[in-house]
């Protein structure tokens, strides 16, 4: 790097290096309003251009592509081989062994009959196998959606005193969740789930895991009179107000199985090859504990059991959907919240594993698949389902190649429904509690939280808000607070856009942030300011105040308070991606204000849209004539410095 010499020399040097030819800022190619609107709509709703592959194909091929687009099974089905089937068969059986106990547990978490959890592990996976485009997603009920569904419905209807109504509302909520999910995909509004940022989700998941685990204290301690509230304080006070109900047999059994399950989980995490240890552990626990209870007649010692489950496949439930009366609002709201939460989980899981195996998952298509799965589910006695993270991980580790593993799982669950139901009669609730705790503990991701703290403090704050909101207020509020804060941050960024003073890096045409690059130097007589956001109604007032302050500070720093010290304010508009009428007025006002102090406003490199709007507003061609509009800062400085020298006598 050259030794820095005096300012004026640098300027001269820069001038010598600058290309002699000054480039014009050309207006962008003309497009009509309709064309602009069309391309804007395409960018907004079809960023992935799903119809691209249809272009230039013969009609027959187009039909086939369309069918493959709607039913991805037609894409991979024809090439399906026995080798793939072997992998899918193993992984299908593995996730079935996880799905059966988890299905029963999660249904209990949602205050639904345990059998509904098994129903929900039978039909939806079949639907997803036909419609879904992820190869790793294992579909079924999940903990968080179950928790939210149960807690929201319990606010108005008691599952113990009116179980039929509760079930009806659960199916209706599932229908609305499915309709909502499918329409998000159909209307290509999938970006709505993007507003749940990673930080929000990490905080939310951890909070929900704790809430779910706390709920399991009921079965783990054998308490019979348990609070209906979800948040930390009332659950803990309920636990310690009913110490007389604690049952040592239940606690002992729960402790043993919890340790067993956690150990199995630990082993599989240390050695991913041993994935089957943690995958099989829940089923082993269920079988073992059922035998124990049956052998020792332990249900008479105060260990509560599931009880009789009805044999047979899913009964139809379209006659149980509930569209009228006072519960419609509740059902729609519950459907909306569980729909968006389960969608977020499903899409995130699908994308994670797609990235691992390097294939693409089309978000909007997935939404339609998950939505349809829930719509069909709601008519066949299933409640909200989606792609579960823990089960999909097992599926992936077990070597699943296609959605056929979901079919295998579904068939296995069907067998269980047809023939194994009597065996679950003596399964103790405490083991189900232990299974849930082990499943949700993985949702507390401390490592990710640390990483967020390291990278972005504000995201960490959002995460904490979601976490504590869920724990201390309610699941929905925690989520709402976190989304609210994230949106507020975005709005703040728009209202307070960054402005940066640029300096020249000696010996080059490069202009960079003066407060970042130490070698960057001011050019006397110029203030070079870069605005790093669209200029719009929400920030013009700020930008005006801030710009005038930059000029003022510059003058103060220079130590000269005379007006003539700044001849030109160069605004680098490269990063201003759009402008509105308020923004145009801001630039016009700024020009006028500056002219009164003898400073000229010079614009550099406005993008096409901005340039067009400025030209349309600038009737007397005052801002967009060649002398005040340049393509690069370097050219502007070079051209204006020469003017300045010619006129210098009039300024000083």
Q: Which of residues 195-254 bind a copy of itself (CB under 8 A)?
A: 195-200
Our CB check for a copy of itself shows the closer of 199 and 253 to be 199
Exactly one of 54, 63, 191, 472 binds a copy of itself (CB under 8 A); which one?
Answer: 191
SS3 577: coil
Among 71, 184, 94, 642, smallest CA distance to 393 is for 94
Judged by CB under 8 A, the stretch of 165-173, 174-182, 308-316, 580-588 that binds a copy of itself is 580-588
Residue 284: CB minimum distance to a copy of itself, A: 36
Q: How far is the CB of 449 from a copy of itself (least distance, A)?
A: 10
534 binds a copy of itself (CB under 8 A): yes
User: Looking at 57-65, 90-98, 301-309, 527-535, which segment touches a copy of itself (CB under 8 A)?
Assistant: 527-535
Between helix 429-441 and helix 82-109 the angle, nearest 10°, is 110
Q: What is the distance between the alpha carbons of residues 284 and 262, in angstroms, rounded to a whole number?
A: 13
In the list 85, 89, 276, 542, the residue contacting a copy of itself (rule: CB under 8 A) is: 542
Residue among 237 and 493 whose Cβ is closer to a copy of itself: 493
Name residues whose C-beta falls within 8 Å of residue 388's C-beta, 6 or more positions apart in sequence. Answer: 102, 138, 139, 140, 141, 142, 345, 349
Q: Partners of 602 in the beta sheet? A: 570
Alpha carbon of 115 to those of 101, 151, 409, 502, 652: distances in Å?
11, 19, 16, 67, 90
Instruction: Name the residue nearer to a copy of itself (CB basis): 156 or 519.
Output: 519
| Distance in angstroms (rounded) separating the CA atoms of residues 605 and 603 | 7
Is residue 194 at the binding interface for a copy of itself, with CB under 8 A as the rule? yes
Q: What are phi and psi of 426, to 5 degrees?
A: -100, 10
Binding to a copy of itself, residues 332-391 (CB under 8 A) = 355, 358, 360, 363
Task: Give the nearer residue to a copy of itself in terms of CB position, either 162 or 595.
Answer: 595
Expressed in angstroms, the distance from the first to the final Cα of the chain is 34
Q: Select the residue interacting with a copy of itself from 264, 435, 538, 640 (CB under 8 A).
A: 538
Structure tokens at 261: 């399950």
Decide if residue 552 touches a copy of itself (CB under 8 A).
yes
Residue closer to a copy of itself (CB basis): 224 or 577: 577
Instruction: Return phi, psi of residue 311, to 5°.
Output: -75, 160
**Could you say whether residue 577 binds a copy of itself (CB under 8 A)?**
yes
- Give the residue with the Cβ less far from a copy of itself, 318 or 458: 458
- Nearest CB to a copy of itself, comparing residues 597 and 642: 597
Residue 128: C-alpha distances to residues 71, 133, 203, 370, 601 (Å):
10, 8, 29, 7, 60
Which residues in 4-43 contact a copy of itself (CB under 8 A)?
Answer: 19, 21, 23, 26, 28-29, 33, 43
Per DSSP, 559 falls in state T
Q: DSSP string covering 161-186, please? A: T-HHHHHHHHHHHHHHHHHHHHHHHH
Residue 450 sits in the site that holds a copy of itself (CB under 8 A): no
- 503, 637 Cβ separation under 8 angstroms: no
For a copy of itself, the closer of residues 26 and 295 by Cβ is 26
Residue 162 vs 194, nearer CB to a copy of itself: 194
Structure tokens at 498: 């960054």
Cβ at position 28, least distance to a copy of itself in Å: 4
Question: Of 459, 567, 587, 630, which lies in the binding site for a copy of itself, with binding defined by CB under 8 A?
Answer: 459
By CB under 8 A, tell whether 518 contacts a copy of itself: yes
Binding mask of the shown chain, residues 602 to 621, with x at each position contacting a copy of itself by CB under 8 A: ---x-xx----x--xx----
Contact region with a copy of itself (CB under 8 A), list: 219-227, 266-274, 336-344, 446-454: 446-454
Which tokens is 209 given? 């895991």
Among 484, 507, 524, 598, binds a copy of itself (CB under 8 A): 507
23 burial type by CB count under 10 A (0-12 exposed, 13-18 middle, 19+ buried): exposed
Q: Report yes or no: 428 and 253 within 8 Å, Cβ to Cβ.
A: yes
For residue 155, state whether it binds a copy of itself (rule: CB under 8 A): no
Taking the complex as a whole, how short is the minimal distance between the CB of residue 621 and a copy of itself, in angstroms? 15
Contacts to a copy of itself from residues 36-55, by CB under 8 A: 43-44, 47-49, 52
DSSP label at residue 224? S
Q: Is the Cβ of residue 212 or residue 500 nearer to a copy of itself in the bound state? A: 500
* Site residue total, a copy of itself (CB under 8 A): 95
Contact between 626 and a copy of itself per CB under 8 A: no
Instruction: List the x/- string, 483-502, binding to a copy of itself by CB under 8 A.
Output: ---xx--xxxxxxxxx-x--
What is the 3-class SS of 309-324, one letter each residue? CCCCCCCCCHHHCCCC
- How many other C-beta atoms lie within 10 A of the C-beta of residue 135? 23
Q: Are 200 and 486 in contact (CB under 8 A)?
A: yes
């Amino acid at each position: 790097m050259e030794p820095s010499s005096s300012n004026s020399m640098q300027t001269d040097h820069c001038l010598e290096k600058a290309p002699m030819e000054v480039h014009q800022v050309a207006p962008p190619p003309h497009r009509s309003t309709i064309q602009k609107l069309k391309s804007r709509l395409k960018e907004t709703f079809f960023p992935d251009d799903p119809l691209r592959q249809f272009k230039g194909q013969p009609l027959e091929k187009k039909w086939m592509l369309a069918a493959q687009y709607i039913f991805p099974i037609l894409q991979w089905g024809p090439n399906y081989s026995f080798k793939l089937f072997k992998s899918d068969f193993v992984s299908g059986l593995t996730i079935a062994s996880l799905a059966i106990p988890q299905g029963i547990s999660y249904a209990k978490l949602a205050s639904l009959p345990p059998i509904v959890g098994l129903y929900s592990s039978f039909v939806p996976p079949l639907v997803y196998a036909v419609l879904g485009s992820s190869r790793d997603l294992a579909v079924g009920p999940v903990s968080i959606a179950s928790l939210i569904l149960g807690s929201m419905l319990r606010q108005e209807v008691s599952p113990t005193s009116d179980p039929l109504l509760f079930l009806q509302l659960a199916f209706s909520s599932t229908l609305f969740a499915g309709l909502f999910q499918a329409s998000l995909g159909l209307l290509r509004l999938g970006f709505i789930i993007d507003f749940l940022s990673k930080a929000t989700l990490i905080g939310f998941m951890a909070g929900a895991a704790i809430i779910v685990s706390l709920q399991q204290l009921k079965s783990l301690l054998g308490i019979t009179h348990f609070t209906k509230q979800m948040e930390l304080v009332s659950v803990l006070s309920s636990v310690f107000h009913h110490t007389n109900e604690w049952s040592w047999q239940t606690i002992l059994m729960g402790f043993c199985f919890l340790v067993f399950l956690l150990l199995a989980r630990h082993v599989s995490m240390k050695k991913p090859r041993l994935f089957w240890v943690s995958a099989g552990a829940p089923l082993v626990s269920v079988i073992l504990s059922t035998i124990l209870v049956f052998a020792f007649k332990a249900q008479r010692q105060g260990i509560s059991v599931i009880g009789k489950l009805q044999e047979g496949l899913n009964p139809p439930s379209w006659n149980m959907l509930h569209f009228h009366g006072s519960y419609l609002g509740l059902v729609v709201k519950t459907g909306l919240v569980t729909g968006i939460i389960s969608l977020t989980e499903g899409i995130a899981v699908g994308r994670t594993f797609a990235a691992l195996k390097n294939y693409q998952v089309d978000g909007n298509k997935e939404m339609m698949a998950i939505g349809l799965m829930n719509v069909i589910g709601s008519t066949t006695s299933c409640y909200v389902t989606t792609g579960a993270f823990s089960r999909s991980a097992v599926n992936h580790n077990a070597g699943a190649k296609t959605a056929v593993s979901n079919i295998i799982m579904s068939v296995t669950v069907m067998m269980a429904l047809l023939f194994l139901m009597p065996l679950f009669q003596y399964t103790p609730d405490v083991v189900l509690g232990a299974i849930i705790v082990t499943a949700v503990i993985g949702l507390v991701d401390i490592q990710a939280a640390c990483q967020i703290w390291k990278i972005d403090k504000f995201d960490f704050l959002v995460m904490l808000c979601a976490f504590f909101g869920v724990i201390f207020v309610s699941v929905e509020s925690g989520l709402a607070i976190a989304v609210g804060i994230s949106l507020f941050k975005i709005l703040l960024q728009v209202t307070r856009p960054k402005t940066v003073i640029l300096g020249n890096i000696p010996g080059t045409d490069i202009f960079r942030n003066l407060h970042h690059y130490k070698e960057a130097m001011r050019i006397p007589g110029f203030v070079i300011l870069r605005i790093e956001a669209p200029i719009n109604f929400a920030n013009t007032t700020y930008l005006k105040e801030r710009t005038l302050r930059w000029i003022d500070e510059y003058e103060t720093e220079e130590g000269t308070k005379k007006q003539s010290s700044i001849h030109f304010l160069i605004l680098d508009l490269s990063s201003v991606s759009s402008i509105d009428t308020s923004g145009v007025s801001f630039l016009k006002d700024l020009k006028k204000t500056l002219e009164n102090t003898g400073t000229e406003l010079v614009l550099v490199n406005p993008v096409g849209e901005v340039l067009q709007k400025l030209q349309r507003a600038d009737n007397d061609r005052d801002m967009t004539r060649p002398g005040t509009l340049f393509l690069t800062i370097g050219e502007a400085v070079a051209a204006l410095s020469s003017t300045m020298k010619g006129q210098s006598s009039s300024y000083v």
